A and B are shown apart, each in its own frame.
Chain A
């Protein structure tokens, strides 16, 4: 009997890797209404004169960052809302590349969500009237996965369409160092 227990302990040790499983796998379907604080005001630090301490992370971030269903839904929204039209599958085109490690307006998930919601100069439309904040956060989670920032066990390797570059699970952090890939 005690060896049965030992076997279970062993199995639990194996599963220790997966203790983060709950959060990774959780579906957050009951979305926050659009009217609620869309992540506005999360201005990236670099454009404040003199710099300042980074603003606190929005508490909703942990619901979406490293959340596998959120990243997968974000992937679908990315093509459905035609983000690929400007950003391609992360390599950029008319819009900047999303798979590099240069973030003009901040690379934290709440900063990316703010960029999507508010729009940005030089052509990024404001989506906050078109998408709910839940959808925006999911897109932000997916965008982060394009440059390999979330943990690998939360991203899916590829989409069910034509192949578009390195599988997400094999992308290393900050795939492309050169930030000028957008200007091709």
Chain B
């Protein structure tokens, strides 16, 4: 157990290639305008709240310590238990005023931060639609030109510095789209359409997770967001528009035939092949993604073997059934999937 954890701790950042691996899923990532403003506001709140807390503790300690020295306190023993120090009454009013002013200040700071975030979130140049499913993310890059719309799953690429609008829909239950290093969360609610705008500022790889309990495997519904320079982003998009490469070796051909004629095609879509199911994630460029099964594990040949062979043991309850392939079928299928870069 411990050795596996150590190996995973080591492998995960390697495979996901994140440079700041402590902060690729954290509020301190500060990788987008929204998260930076969150952090600024958070420290303001912490300062004010910390100050108030210190006042309370000082008052408490003073009351405790003072009691040891007070010889003639207003207590029942001296018969003065119904009296109170008049200074205390004025302090009460001062305390109320202080709390009121402090809270008003914090509320105003909050409103200003909110407006500032809203102002930064204008002029979106890119529109992505994310549809939440149990337990994966259906991602579609929208475009006015129909030939440029592209569908992928569980991974987003964003161009740095470009305001991006993400439209949020749900195919089944309520989910929540949350990439802490970039932005606050927003729920995906069936029957409603929400949206958020992200303006990424740092290049890197970030991880997000569903943040509204959505069923058995809510804990394993993650996504990867890659922020890259604009040129790389366009290159990636163009590549995603290509259909799946044709199989070249006998093994991959056998895998291709199995995948397109068997159970896989009933749920999955692989561009340019007969497999055109829309129930599950799009697999056209599966092998180029960094994670598998919505962030459950890093993309690798071994993990592909495990996932295709028996998804129920890796993510129990997931909608993808365990098919139970023969060993040579499994080799062929995985070999073919590996070509889907």
A is bound by B:
yes
Chain B, 244-271, CB within 8 A of any chain A CB: 261-263, 265-267
In the bound complex, what is the Cα–Cα distance between A131 and B266 (angstroms)? 8
What residue in chain B is nearest A135 (Cβ atoms)?
B321
Identify which of B172, B261, B263 contacts A131 (C-beta below 8 A): B263
Q: How far is the CB of B50 from chain A (nearest CB, A)?
A: 46
Q: How far is the CB of B312 from chain A (nearest CB, A)?
A: 5
Identify which of B266, B279, B317, B324 contacts A29 (C-beta below 8 A): B317
Contacts of A123 in B (CB 8 A): none
In the bound complex, what is the Cα–Cα distance between A35 and B326 (angstroms)? 9
Contacts of B263 in A (CB 8 A): 34, 129-132
Interface centre among B263, B312, B321 (most CB of A within 10 A): B321
Chain A, 23-50, CB within 8 A of any chain B CB: 27, 29-36
Q: Are A34 and B261 in contact (CB under 8 A)?
A: no
Q: Give per-residue flags for A151-168: 1 if the beta carbon is below 8 A from chain B beta carbons, else 0.
A: 000000000100000000
Chain A, 67-104, CB within 8 A of any chain B CB: 80-81
Contact (A132, B323) CB under 8 Å given A27-B317, A81-B266: yes
B161 at the A interface (CB under 8 A): no
A65 at the B interface (CB under 8 A): no
B190 at the A interface (CB under 8 A): yes
Contacts of B262 in A (CB 8 A): 129-130
Q: Are B324 and A33 in contact (CB under 8 A)?
A: yes
Chain B contact residues, majority secondary structure: loop
Q: How far is the CB of A90 from chain B (nearest CB, A)?
A: 21
Contacts of B272 in A (CB 8 A): none
Q: How far is the CB of B164 from chain A (nearest CB, A)?
A: 30
Q: How far is the CB of A82 from chain B (nearest CB, A)?
A: 10
A110 at the B interface (CB under 8 A): no
What residue in chain B is nearest A132 (Cβ atoms)?
B321
Q: How many residues of B contact A (CB 8 A)?
A: 18
Q: Are B322 and A132 in contact (CB under 8 A)?
A: yes
B316 at the A interface (CB under 8 A): yes
Q: Are B261 and A134 in contact (CB under 8 A)?
A: no
Identify which of B190, B266, B317, B322 contacts A130 (C-beta below 8 A): B266
In the bound complex, what is the Cα–Cα distance between A167 and B313 (angstroms)? 35
Contacts of A31 in B (CB 8 A): 312, 321-322, 324
Q: Give per-residue flags for A134-157: 1 if the beta carbon is below 8 A from chain B beta carbons, else 0.
A: 110000000000000000000000
Interface size class on chain A is 10 to 19
Q: Are A29 and B172 in contact (CB under 8 A)?
A: no
Q: Are A30 and B279 in contact (CB under 8 A)?
A: no
Q: Are A33 and B172 in contact (CB under 8 A)?
A: no
Contacts of B321 in A (CB 8 A): 31, 131-132, 134-135
Q: How far is the CB of B333 from chain A (nearest CB, A)?
A: 13
In the bound complex, what is the Cα–Cα distance between A31 and B316 (angstroms)? 11
In the bound complex, what is the Cα–Cα distance between A27 and B317 (angstroms)? 8
Q: Give per-residue flags for B306-339: 1 if the beta carbon is below 8 A from chain A beta carbons, else 0.
A: 0000001100110001111010000000000000
Q: Are A36 and B261 in contact (CB under 8 A)?
A: no
In the bound complex, what is the Cα–Cα distance between A30 and B314 (angstroms)? 11
Q: Give per-residue flags for A1-40: 1 if the beta carbon is below 8 A from chain B beta carbons, else 0.
A: 0000000000000000000000000010111111110000
Contacts of B322 in A (CB 8 A): 30-31, 33, 132, 134
Contacts of B190 in A (CB 8 A): 160
Q: Are A34 and B317 in contact (CB under 8 A)?
A: no
In the bound complex, what is the Cα–Cα distance between A35 and B322 (angstroms)? 11
Q: Are A160 and B324 in contact (CB under 8 A)?
A: no
Q: Are A30 and B312 in contact (CB under 8 A)?
A: yes
What residue in chain B is nearest A127 (Cβ atoms)?
B266
Task: Please list 21 pairs of residues, one from A and one from B, whose beta carbons are closer than 8 Å in the complex, sorted by A's number.
Answer: A27-B317, A29-B312, A30-B312, A30-B322, A31-B322, A32-B324, A33-B322, A33-B323, A33-B324, A35-B326, A80-B279, A81-B266, A129-B262, A130-B265, A132-B263, A132-B321, A132-B322, A132-B323, A134-B321, A135-B321, A160-B190
| Sample of 16 more A-B contacts, CB < 8 Å, known A81-B266, A134-B322 | A29-B316, A31-B312, A31-B322, A31-B324, A33-B323, A34-B263, A34-B324, A35-B326, A80-B267, A80-B279, A130-B262, A131-B263, A131-B321, A132-B323, A134-B321, A135-B321
Chain B residues at the A interface, C-beta cutoff of 8 Å? 172, 190, 261-263, 265-267, 279, 312-313, 316-317, 321-324, 326
